[in-house]
Amino acid sequence: MRGLLLLLVLLCCIRPAAAEPVLAAEAVGDRADVQQKLVDACRSSDRDLVLAMLVAGANPDAIDSSGFTALNAACANDDEDIVLYLLEFGADPDFRGHGQAPVFTAAIANWAIVKILVLAGADPMVRNETQHTLLHFAGTDENPDNCAYLLSLGLDLEARNENGSTPLMFAALFDNPATLNYLLDQGADIHAVNTRGLTPLHLALWQGSMQNSGILLAEGAEIDDLFLAAAMNDAQRIHELVEAGANLEQADFSGELAYLWALSRNASEAGRALIDEYSRSEQASKLLGYALGKAVQRNDMELARELLEMGADPNWRDGYGKSLARRAVNEGDMEMTRLLLESGASASSGAEDDELLREAALRGHVGLMRMLIDNGVPVDVKGEGGRTLMHVVCSGSLNGFNSQSEDYRAAALVLRQAGLDLNALDDNGWTPLDCCIGGPPVTGGIDCGTGIDNELIDLMYYLGAEFSQPIRDWRREQSDMDNATK
């Protein structure tokens, strides 16, 4: 750490204009505004002002209105000089305020500052709120010297954060081969498994680092589950694992099957092997339905047809309860929607939820609306809140789900031609025309949003639509006020 001699030299060099405003007696101590000013000065690297305030008596452990400390601000801004000023004037190197310990802030910006803080007495063994150690942070850095420094201080090579991940896992995930090699050389457990069932090899492959994956495999990591075999495009290993009893329905930490790992790595041979195994499974319809969902998502018509022919469930739903056909409608994919419907996909999931038609109306997909209506999907059922499809079209227009406003006008015409009531009230007493402007007025005026389609409103008027009584009353009041000011 720089000594007091350097500090005195710096004091002599302060510009008078910077120091003068803060030397007044009322600008020192622990007042909130003074603390805020010091933190702001640290954040903006105003060295002259910081030093002048400290000399005048400002608290070096100042915190701002959000609880961020002066030392954290200096660390975040990678300003070694200000860090040294604060420490010279007695800042607590471990004081975190309402944030994290300064050493963690410094580890993100500059490891040289981490060492300064430790020399000043900061605890290198500290953990943050998610139980990460400094060694976990060092694992994200490409310089293994930081790991060597921390290990020399006695940090645990196998420290676990709150989800059980080790520093080696961080090196694997953040694609740092030099750091990965160093930690392995120090004896880090290559077979460690976190609470999500992931090993360093899983994380390297998920990140797409074939270099890290190669290092781990060379050091003894094993391809012992379907996710790893899929990511490595190892079709033979997939068949071996399934024969040995691997669970094809096992999901990863995000709820996805091994097939997605193959798709994510463009591992076509592994993907084909998994589809073959899915087709032979007792849960073939469900598993192939999952693969079909990925084909729909990627607009792969050829694979979608093949999977449907193999027995994929056209009514498979994802983890959010959304059907494959609804996903296709959402994307405006008429060809995929038609394929799914022809293969047995349901256009609705219940008497009160004309799901696909409602989604098409919300997105203004007119061609899909016509196709669904022609296929017998009813237009007169109400959805959540008693809203008709005409309400949905008007809401979709206001919220800009489709940038082509003329599509919503065409959608309104399609529904009118199908006999839908233009003035039906939902459970809140709103008409479809109300939805075009965001609903009835509230105290202080009406919030019309930014996407009002006046041409749609004109068309609805022409077809016979009306605003609800509260809207008509409000419009009359506005007109009277305008006339009174003329």
The Cβ of residue 311 has, within 10 Å, a number of other Cβ atoms equal to 13
Convert the pLDDT of each residue in 339-393 to its tens digit. Answer: 999 999 988 755 444 588 988 998 889 999 999 998 888 888 888 889 999 999 9
66 inside domain? yes
- What is the rounded CA–CA span in Å between residue 163 and residue 56? 46
Three-state SS at 69:
strand
Token digits of residue 55 = 């000399």
Taking a C-beta distance cutoff of 8 angstroms, is the pair 77, 104 a contact?
no
Convert the pLDDT of each residue in 439-466 to its tens digit. Answer: 665 434 344 445 678 888 899 989 999 9
Token digits of residue 248 = 């094809």
Least confident range from 311-320, 324-333, 432-441: namely: 432-441
Domain count, the chain: 2
- What is the rounded CA–CA span in Å between residue 345 and residue 241? 33
| Banded pLDDT at 228 (limits 50, 70, 90) | very high
286 inside domain? no
Average pLDDT across the chain, whole number: 88
Q: How many residues does the chain have?
A: 486
- What is the rounded CA–CA span in Å between residue 315 and residue 351? 16
User: According to the model, what pLDDT value does residue 13 have?
Assistant: 37
User: What residues pair up with 317 in beta bridges, in sequence order?
Assistant: 323
325 inside domain? no
Convert the pLDDT of each residue in 118-145 to its tens digit. Answer: 999 999 999 999 999 999 999 999 999 9
Q: What is the CATH number of the domain that holds 405?
A: 1.25.40.20
Domain final residue, candidates 102, 123, 144:
123
Q: What is the mean pLDDT of residues 315-333?
A: 88
Convert the pLDDT of each residue in 47-95 to its tens digit. Answer: 999 999 999 999 999 999 899 999 999 999 999 999 999 999 999 999 9
451 inside domain? yes
482 inside domain? yes
User: According to the model, what pLDDT value does residue 350 have?
Assistant: 52
84 inside domain? yes
Domain final residue, candidates 123, 141, 169:
123
User: What residues pair up with 353 in beta bridges, in sequence order?
Assistant: 350
In the block, tokens 């405006």 appear at: 332
DSSP string of 139-197?
HTSS-THHHHHHHHTT--TT---TT---HHHHHHHTT-HHHHHHHHHTT--TT---TTS
- What is the rounded CA–CA span in Å between residue 116 and residue 122? 9
Report which DSSP code applies to 474. Answer: H
Domain final residue, candidates 70, 101, 123:
123
Q: pTM for this structure?
A: 0.77
Domain of residue 450: give its range.
373-486
Token digits of residue 430 = 């709103």
Angle formed by the axes of helices 366-374 and 405-417, nearest 10°:
20
2 inside domain? yes
| Banded pLDDT at 270 (limits 50, 70, 90) | very high
327 inside domain? no
